[in-house]
Amino acid sequence: MTTSSPAGPPPVPTEPIRPVAQVPDKPGVDGLEDRWAQSWAAQNTYAFDRSATREQVFSIDTPPPTVSGSLHIGHCFSYTHTDLVARYQRMRGREVFYPMGWDDNGLPTERRVQNYYGVRCDPTLPYEEDFTPPGDGSKTIKPADQVPVSRRKFVELCLELTAQDEQAYAHLWRHLGLSVDWSYQYQTIDARAQKVAQTAFLRNLARGEAYQAQAPGLWDTTFQTAVAQAELEARDYPGHMHKVAFHSDNPAGGEQVVIETTRPELLVSCVALIAHPDDERYAPLFGTTVRTPLFGVEVPVLAHPGAEMDKGTGIAMCCTFGDLTDVGWWRDLQLPTRSVIGRNGRLQGETPAWVSGAGAALYESTLAGRTTFSARAATVEALRDSGDLLAEPEAVQRMANFFEKGDRPLEIVTSRQWYIRNGGRDEPLRSELTARGKELQFHPDFMRVRYQNWVDGLSGDWLISRQRFFGVPFPVWYPVHTDGEADFTAPILPDEAALPVDPSAQPAPGYTEDQRGLPGGFVGDPDIMDTWATSSLTPQITGGWLDDEDLFARVYPMDVRPQGQDIIRTWLFSTLLRSHLEHDRLPWKHTAISGWIVDPDRKKMSKSKGNVVTPMGLLEQHGADAVRYWAASARLGADAAFDPQRPTQMKIGRRLAIKMLNASKFALSFAGDEPVRLDPASVTEPLDRSVLANLARVVEQATAAMEAYDHTRALEVTESFFWTFCDDYLELVKERAYGGGDAPAAAVASARATLYLGLDVLLRLFAPVLPFATEEVWSWWREGSVHRAAWPSAEPLRAAGGDADLDLLDASGAALSALRKVKSTAKVSQRTPFGDVELTAPDPALLEQVRGDLRATGVVGGELTFAVGDEVAVRGDLQIEDTPTR
């Protein structure tokens, strides 16, 4: 990353800055969040200037949090990382486009509304204008007690609750100090988002990138919706292995062919037995047929390289459909479709056409309409009776696919769905998406492999339709034939100018509402788009594509997409895909991938696991700067463990913020009522010049780190210098800065100038991490906001430091520490004077340059001499009876 201020770094000002304002007697961090959040809002501190050119703009594709209840501490972690980038780039002179969005459509919102209001959607019901829901969020209402409402009323309740949640989210974000321009908010369900999503879909359809197909797909029987490959979660699931005999008339293959299966209830839908082409055990059977047990259906024995010779008996039944392997075999070998499981998770009520005789009677009497669980038990009992169950079922743990939000294994159901081509079945497109991934700058770079592994592992196109209610509707209607059947091969599409549309509430073009569902009329597509099908267009939604082309030209493609590592396969990939298809370019130049927050047991924190920590209590207890410090202490891509009982990093962050206030109060205490002057020319003393030379190196290192999206490194070098500045330098120059002793006026001025210059730079270096404490101190002596000040430059500091020895600061600190240690060991005040003192050090000539500061700070009343030694050590006596009382 090589972004920089378009105008270059400004020089350190030497003109007087306004007089120091009233500094609190006891400055503290409590209450800073509310005060400065209100001030920033009133002053439009973070407003985006849309008159800036594209070269001056830094645009962020902000992740829209899912609005489904409450944020957790992991959100504060990752969104702070984004804010660090935004604040840094703003101080570099860029106009930062930093919007905030809300991902409020889809299943999580529906579930929350159901539980909160105690309702469920029934699209067959009429609209209820004066409906009062039975729940108010005070308690969860069981599904059996939920009241059915119309789709329109259900959507209204979704919008009502998400609006409340968005306000709560926004309040927390402001309290955390996110430097968002709140005039640029968006939703993934509002009219603008719907117009963008529907337009993009229609253009995908026109170019042949979107299509509709009746095909096998993963189906969640609980939520009654299709599930995409990216939403899968493999979990262990208890089951039983069954050893079952198929029957053969081929003497070379034997009378029985034994398979092992965990899903015997799918015997009725078996279409083939599959073995590996190199498996000599089954070579005589390839090209022949066998009969299924119980049903007597002839099925072929076929070879496929996907069969595993060392798994079970080495031969497996292919059913339509038991798992994704079945789908692959079915497609590759062009097998027939014999589906029996419906969307409700039950076997179909009618006896399948391919089953006859005793098999048909068995199906009708024991399997029709049953759940897969009860059908499995009935099938096993029938196999036991027929003698085709060769051993008692053996308990096993098997891996099953779940919807990431579901509790039951997914079924594979044949249904009509919408898809977008994603390279899963198109090698040229897959290659193009691989090339796009190589163009994109990943931070950290090792996250790139997750993108590539996902692209390489795609096995089918992106299923984008969902059988839900709260989401972006597909802008499609279908004509109804005279026989009352809808013609899905002839979709009716709207003009782009008419978007957004809702086919469930608006008639198709050229029709009237009273023709809905009637022969010769129309029906609307009942499905909505997958939430990722809308969220994949966040750069277009926030950037004003279609309705604000001027803004779009200034912010797109965006500079960075910050996001979590777990949604590289969903949000990152799908956004890149949509931009590639629509604009033939990357949607952003960089992507910054945050790690996870894990609990003390190293488990990822998530609402579904029930181990999340809500952040507001932590923000109120420790302060927003402390929480931000904790987040900034973790690098991108690295998981961070968090124990709410031991928030060590937050305590350190709070101590740092408090130290910032107190050290700043001390540094500014020498100004009196006079305007502060940042005057590098006044810095003449060797120690002061060493401080500024060291600070110049810190600025260089912190800047390089921030440019590389390594905020943790930037914080490390800045914080390390700050503690040296406070613990060593402030103590060393305290007496000189006060004007005490024999210090000449020029030396006093040098100390004070160094304090002011150091404070000015440190405030700006810390500003992205500690926005509240730094803004508070800035207001004591500077105009405007530190967050609109320029990021510090090393050049003026290096010029002020001249040829100063960088080691002088550390050597002086070590000498001071040695003097202090003598007094601490003797358990006397640090104001206790020494008599004659000899300081040994590897390079005593360095210490000779700070003789005056060491004498004053160490309270050396006699001679101070220096000698060569392997380490810094003190030889001298304390004059305890002469301890001053000051």
Interatomic CA distance for residues 808 and 537, integer angstroms: 55
Ramachandran area for residue 200 (φ above 0: left; ψ -120 to 50: alpha; else beta): alpha
| Inter-residue contact 227 to 465 (CB < 8 Å) | no
Distance from chain centroid for Cα 844? 53
Comparing 739 with 453, which gets the higher pLDDT?
Answer: 453
The per-residue DSSP string of 761-795 comes to HHHHHHTTT-HHHHHHHHHHH-SS-GGGSPPP-HH
pLDDT, tens digit, 9 for 90 and up, residues 422-475: 999 999 999 999 999 999 999 999 999 999 999 999 988 999 998 888 899 999
For residue 223, is the peptide bond before it cis, meaning its omega torsion is within 30 degrees of 0? no
Q: How far is CA 106 from CA 473, 502, 653, 700, in A?
A: 11, 16, 38, 46
More confident residue, 104 or 390: 390
Q: What confidence score (pLDDT) does residue 302 get?
A: 96
DSSP strand E in 809-851: where? 834-841
The Cβ of residue 523 has, within 10 Å, a number of other Cβ atoms equal to: 22
Kindly state the DSSP code that residue 122 receives in the 8-state scheme. -
Assess whether pLDDT exceeds 50 at residue 271.
yes
Four-point Cα dihedral 161, 165, 167, 173, nearest 10: -170
- pLDDT tens for each residue of 82-122: 999 999 999 999 999 999 999 987 777 888 888 899 998 88
Is the separation of the CB atoms in 200 and 401 below 8 Å? no
C-alpha distances in Å from residue 771, one per residue of 31, 548, 613, 777? 13, 32, 23, 10
Q: Which residues of 771-790 are buried (b: 16+ CB within 10 A; e: fewer)?
A: bbbbbbbbbbbbeebbbebb
The reply to whether omega before 63 is within 30° of 0 (cis) is no
- Cα of first residue to Cα of last residue in the chain, in angstroms, is 53
Query: Residue 710: its pLDDT value, please?
Result: 98
CA-based nearest residue to 779, from 661, 695, 687, 886: 661
Alpha helices in 584-647 (DSSP H): 616-622, 624-632
Buried b vs exposed e over 96-105: b needs ≥16 C-beta within 10 Å? bbbbbbbbbb
Cross-strand bridge partners of residue 416? 214
Residue bearing tokens 């992106």: 462
pLDDT in tens, 790-833: 999 999 999 999 889 999 999 999 999 999 999 899 999 999 99
Task: Report the SS3 class of residue 657.
Answer: helix
- Residue among 60, 52, 203, 184 nearest 539 (CA): 60
**626 vs 177: CA distance, rounded Å:** 11
Under a CB-based contact definition with an 8 Å cutoff, are residues 639 and 92 in contact?
A: no
Between the CA of residue 47 and those of 63, 95, 99, 248, 547, what are the distances in Å?
19, 9, 10, 77, 21
pLDDT > 90? residue 177: yes
- Band of pLDDT at residue 6, cut at 50, 70 and 90: very low
Strands 522-524 and 477-479: antiparallel
Placement of tokens 């498996």 in the chain: 279
Share of the chain above pLDDT 70, in %: 96
Question: Is the pLDDT assigned to residue 595 strictly greater than 70?
Answer: yes
Instruction: Give the C-alpha separation, 482 to 518, whole Å.
Output: 8
pLDDT higher than threshold 70 for residue 407: yes
pTM of the model: 0.85
Contact in structure between 864 and 854 (CB atoms under 8 Å): yes
User: Over 60: is that where the pLDDT of 1 sits?
Assistant: no
| Cα gap 183→178, rounded to integer Å | 14
Q: Whose CA is closest to 176, among 827, 620, 825, 774?
A: 620
- At 163 the three-state DSSP class reads helix
Cα distance between residue 197 and residue 529, in whole Å: 9
Given its phi and psi angles, is residue 296 left (phi above 0), alpha (psi -120 to 50 degrees) or beta? Answer: left
Average pLDDT over residues 177-198: 95
Confidence of residue 8 (pLDDT cuts 50, 70, 90): very low
- Of all residues in the chain, the percent with pLDDT exceeding 90 is 73
Distance CA 618, CA 647 (A): 9
Q: Report d(CA 230, CA 422) in Å as an integer.
A: 12
Contact assessment for residue 799 and residue 57, using Cβ atoms and an 8 Å cutoff: no
CB 692 within 8 A of CB 800: yes
- Structure token digits, residue 307: 């069969």
For 56-92, the pLDDT digits (tens) are: 999 999 999 988 767 888 899 999 999 999 999 999 9
pLDDT band at 884 (very low <50, low <70, confident <90, very high): low
Q: What is the mean pLDDT of the segment spanning 543-551?
A: 96
CA 20 distance to own-chain centroid: 42
What's the confidence (pLDDT) of residue 637?
94
Among 215-229, 547-561, 613-627, the minimum mean pLDDT is found in: 215-229
Amino acid residing at 431: S
Tokens of 804: 């100063």
For residue 754, name the pLDDT band (cuts at 50, 70, 90): very high
Can you say whether residue 44 is alpha, beta or left, with left for phi > 0 and alpha for psi between -120 and 50 degrees?
Answer: left
d(CA 698, CA 809): 13
Label the pairing between strands 640-641 and 597-598.
Answer: parallel
**Average pLDDT of the residues in 161-184:** 93
In what side-by-side order are the strands of the sheet with 588-594?
A: 441-443, 588-594, 558-564
Give the number of other Cβ atoms within 10 Å of residue 248's Cβ. Answer: 20
Between CA 732 and CA 417 the distance in angstroms is: 74
The secondary structure element, H or E, covering residue 610 is none
- Distance, in Å, from the CA atom of 252 to the CA atom of 281, rounded to the nearest integer, reads 10
**Predicted local distance difference test score (pLDDT) of residue 7:** 44
Cis upstream peptide for 768 (omega within 30°): no
**């810094």: which residue's tokens?**
872
Nearest to 860 by CA among 847, 845, 846, 842: 847
Instruction: Name which of 233, 608, 230, 270 is nearest 399 in CA terms.
Output: 233
pLDDT of 747 reads 95
H/E segment holding residue 361: helix 357-362
- Output the DSSP codes for 579-593: HHHHHSS-SEEEEEE
Average pLDDT over residues 347-360: 94
270 touches 319 (CB < 8 A)? yes
Amino acid, single-letter form, for residue 117? Y
State whether residue 166 is helix, strand or coil. Answer: helix
pLDDT at site 446: 96
296 has pLDDT over 90:
yes
**Is residue 3 over pLDDT 60?**
no
Nearest to 867 by CA among 849, 842, 886: 842
Residues 6+ positions from 427 with CB-CB distance below 8 Å: none
Question: Mean pLDDT of all residues in the chain?
Answer: 91
What backbone phi and psi angles, to 5 degrees, belong to 96? -95, 120
Hey, what's the torsion of the CAs at 245, 246, 249, 250, to 10 degrees? Answer: -90
Integer CA distances (angstroms), 651 to 114, 556, 601, 776, in order? 40, 40, 21, 20
